[in-house]
Amino acid sequence: MSDVAPLRDEPLLDRPVSVEQGSSPVILAFPHSGTAFPAAIEARLNETGRVLSDTDWHLDRLYEGLLPGATAVRAQFHRYVIDANRDPSGASLYPGRNTTGLVPLTDFDGRPIWREGEAPEAAEVELRRAAFHAPYHAALAAEIERVKALHGVAILYDCHSIRSVIPYLFEGRLPDMNLGTDHGRTCAPLLQEVAVAAMAGADFVVNGRFVGGWTTRHYGRPGEGVHALQMELAQATHLAGEVPPYAYDEAKAAPLRARLADLLARLQTLAPQLSETSR
């Protein structure tokens, strides 16, 4: 049985989320690029878990400087502490399909990540939700309201990456760029159209295996002036390899950075038009 007491005195609790405020109508969210752990939690990971294979490796570096003035909200904690892109109730994002939960028990290959008898139980999951998941979303919600007050609209762009081949989660090889809008529910049609135009010529799909996680579905309220899109990138587009040490490849990432910069700039230019239609 896990011991929840050491969680309360960890330094990570002082700053579980970082926020860089900008003046743009676009907010970049990074729920899975963090690698920090409370020591009491990290010590209970098994050999498989300690590899941290499901991290969004170097994703903040990939997006760095692509849209000057964009706000960035980053979870500092690793998704194995708690997944900031999962429903806090624990409900599955993809009922009937393999996935990982609010606090993952396995990695994306279906392998246990905790030492035997050390997987978190319900009481600890609730503590982690209050200590990490809730502050991340409080910060994100506050930035959405701040940006919306400035521009009359907020465009939330949820940043993700994943290995391109994971048989446990999907068949075959994942496209390089995977745009999710919950089948058009989380943003204005024009935003999706412009994003698709920016991906022309790339290997991409819209609302394929990934249609947007809890963040996109929860905040995306286009009728209220809050538009949300999720971008899931295959890590083969910007990493030297999708195996340890998961090194960043600047040469490989360069053309993707140029495409992403164009995509984000196009989204930003739509803000005045979106603001008018939401009044």
* Residue 12 predicted with pLDDT over 50: yes
pLDDT band with cut points at 50, 70 and 90 for residue 1: very low
pLDDT band with cut points at 50, 70 and 90 for residue 7: very low
Least confident of 47-56, 93-102, 172-181, 239-248: 93-102
Other CB atoms within 10 A of residue 169 CB: 19
Q: Report the distance separating Cα 153 and Cα 117, nearest Å.
A: 47
* Residue 210 predicted with pLDDT over 50: yes
Per-domain boundaries in the chain: 5-277
How does strand 177-180 pair with strand 226-234? antiparallel
The CATH class of the 5-277 domain is alpha beta
Q: Which residues pair with 180 in a beta bridge?
A: 230
The tokens of 136 are what? 């991340």
Q: Report the distance separating Cα 147 and Cα 251, nearest Å.
A: 34
Least confident of 12-16, 72-76, 266-270: 12-16
Q: Are 44 and 118 in contact, with CB atoms under 8 Å apart?
A: yes
Residue with the larger pLDDT of the pair 14 and 121: 121
126 to 4, 88, 158: CA distances (angstroms): 10, 9, 24
Query: What integer is the mean pLDDT of 92-120?
Result: 93
**DSSP for residue 80:** T
pLDDT of residue 11: 66
* Residue 10 predicted with pLDDT over 70: no
Other CB atoms within 10 A of residue 25 CB: 27
* Residue 214 predicted with pLDDT over 60: yes
- Strands (E) in the chain, as ranges, are 17-20, 26-30, 71-75, 154-162, 177-180, 204-206, 226-234
pLDDT of residue 95: 83
The tokens of 164 are what? 């391109």
Task: Round the average pLDDT of the chain to a whole number and report it.
Answer: 94
pLDDT of residue 278: 65
- State the virtual CA torsion across 111, 164, 215, 140 in degrees, nearest 10: 100
* % of the chain surpassing 70 pLDDT: 95
**DSSP for residue 55:** S
